[in-house]
Amino acid sequence: MSTPDTSHLESVPASAWSADDSAALYGITDWGNNFFSVSDAGEVTVRLRDGKKRSEVPIASIIDGLRDRGTDFPVLLRFRDLLHDRISELNQSFRTAIADSNYQGDYRGVYPIKVNQQRQVIEEITAFGKRFHYGLEAGSKPELIAALAHMHDEEAYLICNGYKDEEFIDLALTARKMGLQVIIVLEMPSELNLVIERAEKLGIRPLLGVRARLATKSEGKWQESAGDKSVFGLSASQIIETVDQLKESGYIDCLTLLHYHQGSQIPNIRAIREAATEATRMYIDLVKEGAPMGILDTGGGLAVDYDGSHTDFPASCNYTISEYCADLVEVIGQTCTAENIEHPTIISESGRAVVAYYSVLVFNILDVTKFQLDDTPPTPPATMSPTLKNLIDVAENISTDSLQENFNDATYYRDQIREMHVHGRVSLRERGYAEHLFWNIVTKITRRLSELEFVPEELAELRSQTHDYYYGNFSLFQSLPDSWAIDQLFPIMPIHRLAEKPTQQAVLADITCDCDGKIDRFVDRRDVAHTLPLHPIQPDDTGYCIGVFLVGAYQETLGDLHNLLGDTNVVGVHLENGKPVYSHEVEGDTVADVLSYVEYEPKVLVEKFRSFAENAVNSGKITPRERKEVMKSYRHGLDGYTYFESDI
């Protein structure tokens, strides 16, 4: 990954630090897509629409307004304007590409519900998207049922993918009869018989599509979604068998769509062009086989530049939306023109690219564990072994010219003392002093690394070994599951204090009491960073806030109940007359809610605890008044938020 170097920022003194330096440090200009920026006051702002003009709104002021209204951390902010902008940009880019290339077909986008199934998302997409006849893609019966309740535009497409039982097919066929452009995509050869059976039973001619399993190799984390190893889709031979069966049964006139899917987040435009070329050849041959066709569904894959590097790194992409649209239109148009085939309507199922920017997770820091020690050595024990004296000698003679040697010696003597303790030759106090002194030495070494022209790799890694732990009021597994499961990078930074230099290197830990509940991979302009620069905070200061950006795709639905930490509070935010308006407020799960998800009945829990408390009264362990208070606390706990609650 090749990005602008910001190493010079390390030498900027705290007194000269500016908000612009923070913007460069966290790369917000690169990944913010003109939606997010840093104000001169040192606050992250979001660009929202206020009538016909745009305004930069500090996220910190939005949070202050929520605090005043009693909303606790963590909170997920949804910005409908950013969702609208992405839908507009995608549709306008295709329109421009079609006009520039003299393409004779049309474009119709569909949103795959699986990317974020939340009701507010679907309502916003179907309402705003109607101007573009923007449709939906359903990959399951529940998603189809949700889609049929919200999308009634007869010019938009409703694409049905995934496994389909009789009820699923009947719903799709009946919706077709009611006037919707519902297309049933055959993912497996066995589906066709059931579709024909139900179509004849209901007397409805279906709109059909086939999903092709391309041979073209994809790229990125989801590259196995395409190619011969793909779980879904028909091979070339299976497509021909399906065509023959459609001819024999008299349904060839129903085949209108070819669909393919490369996988989510394709970072390299070359892979997109190659897949489109192969798919267009298949489309042309289906037309020559006698199918009316008319629609080529290019599936998902349009990537999001999470790290701002604009490269083919998995967390980025080396193309823009306009380039993506232009390349697809060019490949499909030129290939069809060469064969005298009418240009099809192009469908894309861009979900991640549409909703990623829409949501921002904000949480507060509850506590900090500091590993960065000062230069003052600890008080030595009364008795010392010769090995410990050698370690002290290393600490007293650190030199810039011999930092590697100093580190090697310190590591050797520290390890020797640990071994001696295991065999009973030194005390725990002496071992504790040695380990404290070792990190004191490491601190001195890391502070002198900037004096070296070349930093050895082993010493460079010391910076990441001396980080602090900042404990955030959130659950990684509930709100950012992709960060844990597939090492997905998300832009993360403080939402305020950005006019101050962040002097601490930190790893973020959540409150799940799980060693995996941490974030130690961060966006960096040179590489993936393993620590995040943050500001020092005072003990008991729980008002320092971190924002995790571009979390609108997949994170809400994939989240689990690790430690029974449930859904967060959710608030939609837009502007009216220059002021933030809070809408679509959804309270996060209570303790009673999450317990009910795992088969507990809150009323039964109260009854069981009441019986336990009464037995404690009868045995004289607590008083009746104490029973009253503990029952009150128990009920209050059931009704409370699953996350850390505070009065700030």
Catalytic residue numbers, as ranges: 513
**Contact 350/109 with Cβ under 8 angstroms?**
yes
Question: How far is residue 341's CA from residue 131's CA, in Å, rounded to a whole number?
Answer: 29
Phi, psi of 7, rounded to the nearest 5 degrees:
-60, -25
**Contact 408/540 with Cβ under 8 angstroms?**
no
Torsion (CA) 307, 511, 114, 88 in degrees, nearest 10? -40
Task: Provide the 3-class DSSP secondary structure of residue 257.
Answer: strand
How many C-beta atoms lie closer than 10 Å to residue 128's C-beta?
17
Question: How far is residue 240's CA from residue 514's CA, in Å, rounded to a whole number?
Answer: 51
Please identify which residue in the block is written with the tokens 């349009």.
302
Name residues whose C-beta falls within 8 Å of residue 82's C-beta, 6 or more positions apart in sequence.
35, 46, 357, 358
Question: How far is residue 466's CA from residue 477's CA, in Å, rounded to a whole number?
Answer: 25
| 624-639 vs 602-618: helix crossing angle, rounded to 10 | 160
Query: Cβ-count burial of 352 within 10 angstroms (0-12 exposed, 13-18 middle, 19+ buried)?
Result: buried
Give the residue among 497, 555, 526, 512 at the shortest CA–CA distance from 643: 512
Which uninterrupted H or E stretch holds 505? strand 504-509
Distance of CA 347 to the CA centre of its chain: 25
Asked if the peptide bond before residue 74 counts as cis, ω within 30 degrees of 0, the response is yes
Q: Which residues of 268-279 are buried (b: 16+ CB within 10 A; e: fewer)?
A: bbebbbbbbebb
Give the residue among 642, 241, 268 at the shortest CA–CA distance from 478: 642
